[in-house]
Amino acid sequence: MKKKSIINIKVLLSFFIILSILCSGVPVWADESEDYTASEYILDAYMAIDEENYDLALDYCNKAISISPKPEYYTLKASIYEYQDKYDEVLNVLDELISISSDYGMAYIEKANIYLKLKKTDEMLKCLDEGIAANPNYITLYLHKAQYFVEIKKNTDAVECYKLGIKNNPNNLHLHVLLSYQLLGLGKDREAFDCLNKIIEINPNTDLAYYNLACLYSKEGNVEKSLQNLKKAVHLSPNIKALALEDPDFDNVRALDGFKALTGVGVYVDGKALEFDVPPTIEEGRVLLPLRVVFETLGASIEWIDSTKTVIAKKDDITLSLQIGSNKATLNGIEVSLDVPAKIVNGRTLVPVRFVSESFKADVKWNPDTKTVYVSSLETNINNTGLSEQAIVEKLDSSVDILSIDGLFPQPYGLGPKDAMILVVAKSEEDLNLFRALSKKQKIEYLNNKVQENYGSVLGCDTIEASFIYDGKMYYSVITAYEVNPEILTLESFKLGLPFNVIVQDERNFTYRYYYEK
């Protein structure tokens, strides 16, 4: 089963000190509210910290607090004392903050950090419990407490902590996911079943929930349900195939044709996962697969001439002819060579996917890590909306949601700390059709512009994937970076939509939720 790595509690707690400063909820450099002068003092405090002049930083911080006693200013003051290892002063500041804002969860987090540094674990746990009692919706408190238990190998206590968090926040996806890992690790399969099904109820695109259900069903001998769930997992995330091949939980189904098909070569045409009664094969480095399914998905008609064992496929002004066993093919009357000939396997004609797809002007990409072929048919951009590019962009901007996903925070994509996503989420089919009306160059520019406009939300990330999403599917994607030239970017397109797990990050609460959650 897939296990989640646990963040080191000391690192995580230290991280939240920085987070509380950076995510104060008010831009200290440009506050036009009545406490503008307080913001100026805070900016001066930051500059003094940078120069390691902590006494001056405290003076500025106290002046800001005297004007506007915001919780974020207190946490900054506590951090200044911590830089000097003055832990008693830190605790005093945080106690003062809690006395005026008892539900400010970050104060309890920072107190817990200090107690942990002082090796006062009983006080740390009591502090987190007080925080949970004061603000039971502050998810981070449960995460800290549970992760501490995991680190000291008290996993049963971690389970109880996650359960308490779920009791107070019954639809929190992140808590359910972390609880499922603990239950699986402890061998509590019955509880794990319930937890995994709840995850799918909350977010039906959680690939690892399907994967772990497949593991559990395989272990108990329920072959049909094991393969059903594995199929859903693989279609959502093809890289899961590598996990399944090495996972002993699948020993009961490993020899079955269904398992071999799911963990073998996968094919997506325009984002749709294809299914075959005869699985694709690899010969001499070339992928061969049943032609009818691929041709029909691409919109081509097929004719079989039995006397000569020849396949003729037609689409628009393109005619392709292949003879079984021959290294030659005919494309619009011109003979061309094949690296691998077409062949018949179990009554199905298998053809080299790259050659036939590219013959119909489709783009073909092969991912050797996941053994997956992605075929994208030629897209003709016809703007029949009657709108100019500027008008289309303005309509899109007024409708779509922009979701920033930073790999530094919890998310289900496996992003690294310097990786990010910017998701442009359409709310209607009209939005999707408007975006489709843009030319390829205009699509690239639009997605890249969204990255540049929203880079502040993923600051420091080197690689950013910008995607256009509608109804839980990705239709277009660009891999880009900050201040990149859009002329060098490549657009990936999926006409039928590639299944995609759309989530919304909550960086302040160190969690995330499903975008389409009701």
**DSSP assignment of 457-514, as one string?**
GGTT-SEEEEEEEETTEEEEEEEE-TT--GGG--EEEEEEEEE---EEEETTTTEEEE
The region of weakest confidence among 350-359, 456-465, 480-489, 509-518 is 350-359
36 pLDDT band, cuts 50/70/90, is low
The region of weakest confidence among 44-48, 151-155, 350-354 is 350-354
Three-state SS for 305? strand
Q: What is the mean pLDDT of residues 468-480?
A: 97
The Cα–Cα gap between 263 and 227 comes to 11
Which structure tokens are listed for 430? 């009209």
pLDDT at 16 over 50: no
2 pLDDT band, cuts 50/70/90, is low
Q: What is the pLDDT of residue 379?
A: 80
CA within 13 Å, CB half, 413: 25
Contact 291, 356 (CB under 8 A): yes
Which structure tokens are listed for 463? 């690689």
Contact 336, 328 (CB under 8 A): yes
From start to end of 240-360, where are the E strands?
A: 266-269, 272-273, 281-283, 286-290, 301-305, 310-315, 318-323, 328-331, 334-337, 343-345, 348-352
Q: What is the pLDDT of residue 364?
A: 87
pLDDT at 17 over 70: no
- Amino acid 378 reads L
pLDDT at 178 over 90: yes
59 pLDDT band, cuts 50/70/90, is very high
Q: What is the pLDDT of residue 34?
A: 45
381 pLDDT band, cuts 50/70/90, is confident
The Cα–Cα gap between 78 and 38 comes to 17
Q: Where in the chain is the domain with CATH 3.30.457.10?
A: 271-376
- Amino acid 124 reads M
Q: Where in the chain is the domain with CATH 1.25.40.10?
A: 9-153
The Cα–Cα gap between 244 and 2 comes to 9
Summarize pLDDT for 393-413 with one digit per residue, the tens: 999 999 999 999 999 999 999
**Is 271-376 CATH 3.30.457.10?**
yes
pTM: 0.85
Q: What is the mean pLDDT of the chain?
A: 90
Which secondary-structure segment (H or E) carries 159?
Answer: helix 155-168
CATH dotted code for 9-153: 1.25.40.10
The Cα–Cα gap between 38 and 64 comes to 4
pLDDT at 303 over 70: yes
25 pLDDT band, cuts 50/70/90, is very low
Q: What is the mean pLDDT of residues 47-72?
A: 94
Which structure tokens are listed for 294? 């691929």
Summarize pLDDT for 73-107 with one digit per residue, the tens: 999 999 999 999 999 999 999 999 999 999 999 99
220 φ, ψ (degrees, to nearest 5): -90, 5
Q: What is the pLDDT of residue 8?
A: 42
pLDDT at 23 over 60: no
Q: What is the pLDDT of residue 9?
A: 39
pLDDT at 3 over 70: no
Q: Which long-range contacts (CB under 8 A, 24 or more apart) does 256-260 make?
A: 256/223, 256/227, 258/223, 258/227, 259/227, 259/230
Summarize pLDDT for 345-360 with one digit per residue, the tens: 888 888 888 887 888 8
pLDDT at 286 over 90: no
Q: What is the pLDDT of residue 283?
A: 85
The region of weakest confidence among 34-48, 230-244, 267-281 is 34-48
Place of tokens 């699986």: 184
For 327-439, where are the alpha helices, taking DSSP H only?
A: 353-359, 389-397, 429-437
pLDDT at 21 over 80: no
Q: Which residues contact 487 (CB under 8 A, 6 or more apart)?
A: none
Where on the phi/psi map is residue 279: left (φ > 0), alpha (ψ -120 to 50), or beta? beta
CA 452 to centroid of chain Cα atoms: 20
For 2-138, where are the alpha helices, taking DSSP H only?
A: 9-22, 36-50, 54-67, 71-83, 87-100, 105-117, 121-134
> What share of the chain in percent tops pLDDT 90?
70
The Cα–Cα gap between 193 and 210 comes to 10
Length of the chain: 518
Q: What is the mean pLDDT of residues 476-495?
A: 94
Three-state SS for 375? strand
Q: Give the pairing of strands 372-376 and 266-269.
A: parallel
Query: What distances in angstroms separate CA 328 from CA 22, 87, 212, 294, 336, one per listed residue?
Result: 64, 79, 46, 20, 6
Q: What is the pLDDT of residue 111?
A: 97
Higher-confidence residue: 264 or 23? 264
